[in-house]
Amino acid sequence: MLFNSFSFLFLYLPVVLLGFFGLARRSKTAAAAWLALASLVFYGWWSVAYIPLLLASILFNYGAGWRIGHSATPGARKRWLIGAIAADLALLAYFKYADFFIGSVNALSGSQLEALHVVLPIGISFFTFTQIAFLVDTYQGKVSEYRFVHYLLFVTYFPHLIAGPVLHHKEMMPQFDQDASYRPSRANFAIGLAIFAIGLAKKVLIADNLAPHAGFFFDSTEQPSLLLAWGGVLAYSFQLYFDFSGYSDMAIGLSRLFGIRLPLNFHSPYKAVNIIEFWRRWHMTLSRFLRDYLYIALGGNRHGTARRYANLMTTMVLGGLWHGAGWNFVIWGALHGSYLMINHAWAALAARLRLNTGNTAWRAAALLLTFGAVCVAWVFFRSADFERAITIVRGLFGAYGVGLPDSIGNHLGSLRASLERAGVDFYLGGGSRFVQTWSWVALATALAFLFPNTQQIMGRYGPALDYQLARDGGAGKLALQPSRRWAAVIAVLCLGSLLSLSRPAEFLYFQF
């Protein structure tokens, strides 16, 4: 079931809300159980066959967590932790990486091992990482509550189940237990619906209109000239940006309807002035998980520069593999690992040289360089194979020249001759798609770089669990406030989005 579907908006969500708040009048436990059951129905809408797998994972990790928390000796607690995490990773490896491993062995050795053709259960990466975090938090003494119904809700909670954010037990349990979460609130409904409407508009009106242009470009086999290459790559970069940003907003908005605040997961990452900052803004809860449970566990920056860089590269390569079982994801992760190493080395050098990197011109150049590097990495993330990715990257750097559709050239007058002398080629066909692609890219660029994000717009209402308006600066005159003007804006966004829901498209992060 998709957040951006009529069945979810006009059937599932109203029934779940009415049942939750109706039962809450009698019992918080019954209301929590109802929400957990509704979340299982939400998951089963995709595939009933994998509900037993989800429940088995929940029962196993709940039992393991209880044993970790109640074992008498540190050694026993550690053995339970290692065994449970190993079992979780083995399950994830089988479903997500078995065929990738077999295919890699066949390619390297020339063997003919038969693929298992395992169907990937939706959301398995997210509910596995969520439970690994629970196990580690339990081992570290951060978990004190073991009520099963709350644990079941913690894992299955439908706003985050399919594509995040990755939750911490200590963040959610106090909220599941507070009385305010079980009473309907006009403020929560107004705030939640506004956030959801903005996220829905990002997905339906922006990301889904960029998708055909990105898909056409990456599915093509032609050698792209400079403008075609950048048009296609930017179309995908912004499609992924608004798709994931939209999902993150919708998850936060939906959860707020139930009086529950989710952690912030997406915060204008394309405004980052370096790759370190980018990863503090993109998929923030995954970055937090990789930092806390992988990078720091490997030693972090505690054992010298060389070890630090090795830990960064290992973390990012494994983070790439988390996104998908393919060498393209390994390359994408390795690129970001390299970016991070360069970023840390440059920061150390700039500090020693006492360079002024805070002025406007420097920050603008850093932003463009960071954004360009991210876009180059997205090529490997999206491309079907390595050869196509290399062809596109060559096109980004002008290896196949600069071209414009002839239909555009006919409107340039004397400028056309000047462009031809400068080496610009004019080709037949493709004018309409060229103009449409760059028009959508221009709109997406303006929205991503010039406008405040959803958290800033909603900042005064505490939109996310860890959002601090004072630290972020807010949205100024574009900050939402109770007014007829803003009511009209939200209504227009809802109406436009609903009129575009005839063919709801899945969120891109569902495949990871």
DSSP-assigned letters across all residues of 100-113: HHHHHHHHHH---P
Residue 88 has pLDDT above 90, yes or no: yes
Instruction: Tell me the C-alpha distance between 387 and 395, whole Å.
Output: 13
Within 8 A by CB and 6+ apart from 302, the residues are none
Q: Which conformational region is residue 177 in: left (phi greater than 0), alpha (psi within -120 to 50 degrees), or beta?
A: alpha
* Catalytic residue chosen out of the listed positions 323, 336, 344, 411: 323
Instruction: Tell me the C-alpha distance between 91 and 85, whole Å.
Output: 10
Identity at 206, one-letter amino acid code: I
Q: What is the pLDDT of residues 109-165, one digit of tens each?
A: 888 888 888 888 888 999 999 999 999 999 998 888 889 999 999 999 999 988 889
Instruction: Tell me the C-alpha distance between 371 and 30, whole Å.
Output: 48
pLDDT-derived band at 178 (thresholds 50, 70, 90) equals confident
Position 106 scores a pLDDT of: 86
Token pair for 466? 């860890």
Mean pLDDT, the chain, whole residue set: 92
Instruction: Tell me the C-alpha distance between 268 and 455, whole Å.
Output: 10
More confident residue, 28 or 46: 28
Q: Determine what percent of the chain is predicted with pLDDT higher than 90.
A: 74
Identity at 477, one-letter amino acid code: K
Gap between the terminal Cα atoms of the chain: 16
On whether the CB atoms of residues 262 and 144 are closer than 8 A, the answer is no
| Mean pLDDT (whole number) for 21-42 | 95
Give the torsion sign (CA, 357, 360, 363, 364). Answer: negative
Does 411 participate in catalysis according to the annotation?
Answer: no
Instruction: Tell me the C-alpha distance between 4 and 247, whole Å.
Output: 9
Position 470 scores a pLDDT of: 63
Position 120 scores a pLDDT of: 85
Of 414, 382, 419, 236, which is closest to residue 228 (Cα–Cα)?
236
Q: How far is CA 469 from CA 28, 51, 158, 486, in A?
A: 31, 39, 27, 20
| Mean pLDDT (whole number) for 316-325 | 91
| Mean pLDDT (whole number) for 50-74 | 94
Name the 3-class secondary structure at 358.
coil
| Beta partners for residue 425, in sequence order | 403
Instruction: Tell me the C-alpha distance between 512 and 510, whole Å.
Output: 5
